[in-house]
């Protein structure tokens, strides 16, 4: 039957309004009555029937531990999951401000994009989804350590915007030695990306210096970005990384020099094409040039060679030099030597340097960049590794043995990251 026109029913704001019909409430009442008399089937959840379905997936945050104190500002969020098809991580400070970060390739950890603030409380939340689309979460709260007073400062030899040769190693130096047991942790925070992608790796030159080189020379005109994410990272002996540093550089043309003692000629190629062949004079038999591959380390339009501290009186001299390009720590250079122009191409008369004419010295100087490679061959002496930037004076397999982390071949170069084995 119909209700009286003056009957009341709920309005939009919980009040009763006049003139409404009771037809719909009556139907609902009937439905509820039938449900209440039902036997066998599950009743509504609020009547003690079927509970809300839960996710099959679960997650547990293992690092940092729940309520941990004095956590390094470099910490990752490490977690385990079960039956999860997808995982995401959120990190927020006490005010609710989110921290940006990146999930690792194996999906087991998450690294903030920079060092966290010292003496600050954060909450990490891991969200996982199962195959049915249901979600579950795990949450840990932790507090970072106070700012340390004992830090290890990492610096890059190159600065932002540098344009270098295709043989240039990426050089990172520390003002304090990094103990052997901590070098793998440090190396995991050294990442390199290149455009186009190129395979490469790190080698520890000493406890205070680590180099990166690609497997083969850098491709010409590459864009390279490398990052030292070391702020707050434990480095042993109560020492922590000072800060994070990112450097963006480029390579120029593939300018490569090759010198053969048999012909006493230098061949110069640019982007694979021979552009110049010029005569040279190398080190005389008593002071031979070194055979091997190194790169241009520094350049001087004018300088003075002063060897008055040499133990052999025959090798002591003071000479003004034009267009000098250093190749080794030991003092081997490419440079103009007008006094030997009559010997160049025919006889070795230098003290170990690559002598070229005044004109060719200037030409070369104006063509090269720091990091351009040069190979010298067929001399009486081999280049000693460590005597300069000798990263290319060894095979790839030999070079990579100096890594603190076992090297793994990249599975996908399209990522633009040539160091998958060392990327968090």
Q: How confident is the model at residue 54 (pLDDT cuts 50, 70, 90)?
A: confident
373/299 same-domain check: yes
Residue 318 domain-assigned (yes or no) = yes
What's the pLDDT at 30?
35
In the numeric block, which tokens belong to residue 15?
Answer: 């009040």
Last residue of some domain: 143, 167, 198?
A: 143
What's the pLDDT at 136?
96
What's the pLDDT at 409?
85
Stretch among 71-80, 172-181, 316-325 having the lowest mean pLDDT: 316-325
189/234 same-domain check: yes
* CATH code for the domain in which residue 350 is found: 2.40.440.10
Q: How confident is the model at residue 315 (pLDDT cuts 50, 70, 90)?
A: confident
Q: How confident is the model at residue 5 (pLDDT cuts 50, 70, 90)?
A: very low
337/246 same-domain check: no
pLDDT tens-digit profile of 289-312? 999 999 999 999 999 988 777 777
Q: In sequence order, what are the beta bridge partners of 319?
A: 305
Spatial contact of 280 and 345, defined as CB atoms under 8 Å apart: yes
* CATH code for the domain in which residue 412 is found: 2.60.40.3710
Residue 25 domain-assigned (yes or no) = no
Encode the chain in three state secondary structure: CCCCCCCEEECCCCCEEECCCCHHHHHHHHHHHHHHHCCCCCCCHHHCCCCCCCCCCEEEEEECCCCCCCECCCCCEEEEEECCCEEEEEEEECCCCECCEEECCCCCEEEECCCCCCCCEEEEEEEEECCCCCEEEEEEEEEECCCCCCEECEEECCCCCCEECCCCCEEEEECCCCCHHHHHHHHHCEEEEEECCCCEEEEEEECCEEEEEECCCCCCCCEEEEEEECCCCECCCCCEECCEEEEEEEECCCEEEEEECCCCEEEEEECCEEEEEEECECECCCCCCEEEEEECCEEEEEEEEECCCCCCHHHCCEEEEEEEEECCCCCCEEEECHHHCCCCCCCCCECCCEEECHHHHHHHHHHCCCCCEEEEECCCEECCCCCCCCCCCCCHHHHHCCCCCCCCCCCCHHHCCCCHHHCC
118/241 same-domain check: no
What's the pLDDT at 102?
96
Residues 6+ apart with CB under 8 A from 303: 320, 321, 324
Assess whether pLDDT exceeds 50 at residue 367: yes
209/285 same-domain check: no
What's the pLDDT at 410?
82
Residue 216 domain-assigned (yes or no) = yes
Assess whether pLDDT exceeds 70 at residue 51: no
CA–CA separation, 309 vs 112, rounded Å?
A: 52
In the numeric block, which tokens belong to residue 269?
Answer: 């190629």
The average pLDDT across 57-63 equals 96
Residue 239 domain-assigned (yes or no) = yes
What's the pLDDT at 15?
33
234/276 same-domain check: no
pLDDT tens-digit profile of 227-259? 999 999 999 999 999 999 999 999 999 999 999
324/410 same-domain check: no
Assess whether pLDDT exceeds 60 at residue 423: no
Q: How confident is the model at residue 377 (pLDDT cuts 50, 70, 90)?
A: very high
263/223 same-domain check: no
What's the pLDDT at 412?
59
Whole-number percent of the chain with pLDDT over 70: 84
What's the pLDDT at 197?
97
**Which of 387, 386, 384, 315 has the alpha carbon at shortest distance from 351?**
315
315/212 same-domain check: no
The parent domain of residue 89 ranges over 58-143
Q: What is the biggest distance separating any 2 CA atoms in the chain, rounded to whole angstroms?
A: 126
Assess whether pLDDT exceeds 70 at residue 13: no
pLDDT tens-digit profile of 102-135? 999 999 999 999 999 999 999 999 999 999 999 9
Spatial contact of 388 and 376, defined as CB atoms under 8 Å apart: no
Residue 18 domain-assigned (yes or no) = no
Last residue of some domain: 95, 127, 143?
A: 143
Number of domains in the chain: 3
Residue 328 domain-assigned (yes or no) = yes
pTM over 0.75: yes
Spatial contact of 219 and 196, defined as CB atoms under 8 Å apart: yes
Please give the order of strands across the beta sheet that includes 77-82: 58-63, 77-82, 109-112, 101-103
Q: Cβ–Cβ contacts within 10 Å for residue 52, how many?
A: 6
Residue 11 domain-assigned (yes or no) = no
- Average pLDDT over the chain reads 87
273/387 same-domain check: yes
What's the pLDDT at 53?
63
Phi, psi at residue 268, to the nearest 5°? -115, 125
Stretch among 31-35, 182-186, 308-312, 389-393 having the lowest mean pLDDT: 31-35
Assess whether pLDDT exceeds 80 at residue 420: no
194/161 same-domain check: yes
Assess whether pLDDT exceeds 80 at residue 262: yes
pLDDT tens-digit profile of 150-164? 999 999 999 999 999
What's the pLDDT at 3?
38
What's the pLDDT at 308?
75
Higher-confidence residue of 413 and 409: namely 409
Assess whether pLDDT exceeds 70 at residue 319: yes
Last residue of some domain: 118, 143, 168?
A: 143
CA–CA separation, 124 vs 144, rounded Å?
A: 13
CA–CA separation, 394 vs 360, rounded Å?
A: 29
Assess whether pLDDT exceeds 50 at residue 167: yes
Residue 13 domain-assigned (yes or no) = no
339/380 same-domain check: yes
Assess whether pLDDT exceeds 90 at residue 187: yes
Assess whether pLDDT exceeds 70 at residue 199: yes
């Amino acid at each position: 039957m119909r209700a009286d026109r003056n009957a009341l029913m709920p309005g939009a704001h919980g009040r009763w309004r006049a003139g409404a019909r009771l037809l719909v409430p009556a139907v609902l009442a009937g439905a509820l009555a039938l449900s209440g008399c039902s036997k066998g089937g599950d009743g509504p959840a609020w009547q003690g029937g079927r509970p809300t379905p839960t996710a099959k997936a679960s997650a547990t945050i293992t690092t940092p531990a729940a309520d941990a104190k004095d956590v390094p500002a470099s910490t990752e969020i490490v977690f385990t999951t079960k039956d999860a098809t997808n995982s995401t991580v959120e990190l927020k400070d006490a005010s609710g401000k989110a921290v940006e970060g990146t999930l690792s390739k194996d999906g087991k950890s998450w690294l903030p994009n920079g060092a966290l603030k010292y003496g600050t409380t954060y909450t990490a939340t891991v969200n996982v989804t199962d195959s049915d689309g249901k979600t579950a979460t795990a949450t840990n709260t932790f507090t970072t350590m106070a700012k340390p007073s004992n830090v290890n400062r990492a610096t890059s030899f190159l600065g932002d915007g540098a344009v270098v040769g295709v043989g240039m190693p990426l050089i990172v130096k520390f003002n304090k030695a990094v103990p052997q047991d901590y070098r793998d942790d440090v190396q995991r925070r050294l990442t390199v990306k290149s455009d186009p992608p190129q395979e490469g790796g790190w080698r520890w030159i000493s406890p205070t210096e680590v180099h990166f080189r690609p497997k083969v020379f850098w491709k010409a005109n590459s864009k390279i970005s490398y990052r030292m994410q070391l702020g707050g990272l434990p480095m042993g002996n109560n020492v922590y990384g000072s800060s994070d540093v990112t450097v963006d550089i480029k390579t120029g043309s593939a300018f490569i020099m090759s010198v053969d003692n048999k012909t006493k000629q230098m061949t110069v190629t640019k982007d694979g094409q021979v552009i110049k062949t010029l005569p040279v004079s190398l080190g005389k038999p008593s002071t031979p040039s070194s055979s091997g591959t190194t790169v241009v380390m520094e350049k001087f339009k004018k300088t003075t060679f002063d060897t008055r501290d040499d133990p052999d009186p025959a090798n002591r001299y003071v000479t003004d030099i034009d267009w000098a390009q250093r190749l080794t720590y030991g003092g081997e250079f490419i440079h103009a030597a007008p006094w030997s122009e009559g010997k160049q191409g025919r006889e070795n008369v230098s003290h170990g340097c690559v002598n070229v004419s005044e004109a060719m010295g200037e030409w070369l100087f104006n063509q090269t960049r720091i990091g351009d490679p040069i190979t010298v061959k067929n001399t009486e002496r081999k280049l000693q590794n460590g005597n300069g930037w000798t990263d290319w004076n060894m095979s790839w397999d030999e070079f990579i043995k100096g890594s603190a982390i076992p090297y793994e071949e990249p599975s996908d170069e399209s990522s633009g990251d040539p160091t998958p084995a060392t990327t968090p």
